[in-house]
Amino acid sequence: MSSETKPAVLLVDDEEDVLFSLKGLLRHEFELHTATSGDQALEILRQHRIHVIMTDQRMPGMTGTQLLSRVRAEFPTAIRIVFTGYADIKSVIEAINNGGLYRYITKPWDPDELVDVLHRAAQRFQEDAQRTRLADSLKTYVQDVGKTVNDLPNGADLISRGESLLQDAMRLLES
């Protein structure tokens, strides 16, 4: 995300007035998408790159926990948040265990806190994406170095001696 790009947030609630209130609060800070059901949310996720999904827990057809379990399986990079007016510990545990929950927010929400949580969730998305890019780059680099060393005369010997030196260094560090 560049500095001009707003984080994409998907809000899911079966109550239109809740979505209307959230849009009023968040429209200047985020690129908003809304859904009134779990199925509609999954369709939006298939069509747009969503950074953060925030869903109500109690909805007809598919609970927030069920939705987030599917999101975790199909869109694992999306940061997942449940918000609900019904704080039931069983639902919280289920959401954490099955949905890979980032946060659990109760209704009514504190507007400043909600904006802050969503910004932190979007930042987490960015950090996770950066870690993945760096890991991929490192893997490619190590593969390239390995190929280069293997192409050198006595490359296999160099690798073997390097491994031996590394093992000696590890033994020294452990003692």
Residues 50 and 105 in one domain: yes
DSSP state of 144: H
**Of the candidates 122, 129, 131, the residue with the CA atom closest to the CA atom of residue 6:** 122
Each residue's pLDDT tens digit, 91-100: 777 777 666 7
Please tell me whether residues 24 and 89 are part of one structural domain: yes
Q: Is residue 51 part of a domain?
A: yes
In a domain, 33, yes or no: yes
Answer yes or no: do 16 and 83 share one domain.
yes
pLDDT of residue 53: 98
pLDDT value of residue 80? 96
Q: 160 versus 100: which is more confidently predicted? A: 100
Q: How far apart are alpha carbons 64 and 60 in whole angstroms?
A: 10
Answer yes or no: is pLDDT of 147 > 80: no
Q: Which residues have CB under 8 Å from 73's CB, separation 6+?
A: none
Residue 15 lies in a domain: yes
Residue percentage of the chain with pLDDT more than 90: 53
Domain of 154 in residue numbering reads as 138-174
pLDDT at 83 over 50: yes
Looking at the structure of the chain, the number of domains it has is: 2
Same domain (yes/no): 122, 82: yes
54, pLDDT greater than 80: yes
Q: What pLDDT, on a 0 to 100 scale, did the predictor assign at position 31?
A: 97
Is 46 in the same domain as 125? yes
At residue 152, the pLDDT reads 67
What region does 128 belong to: left with phi over 0, alpha with psi -120 to 50, or beta? Answer: alpha
> CATH number of the domain that 14 lies in?
3.40.50.2300
| Same domain, yes or no: 119 and 151 | no
Do residue 72 and residue 39 come from a single domain?
Answer: yes
Averaged pLDDT of the chain: 85
Lowest mean pLDDT of 56-65, 71-80, 150-159, name the range. 150-159
Q: Summarize the confidence of residues 84-105 as an average pLDDT.
A: 74
Same domain, 115 and 150: no
Q: Does the structure show a pLDDT above 70 at 77?
A: yes
User: Residue 1: what pLDDT?
Assistant: 54
Is 2 within the bounds of a domain?
A: no
Is residue 94 included in any domain, yes or no? yes
What is the structure's pLDDT at 116?
95
Q: Residues 115, 146: one domain?
A: no
Contact 82, 68 (CB under 8 A): yes
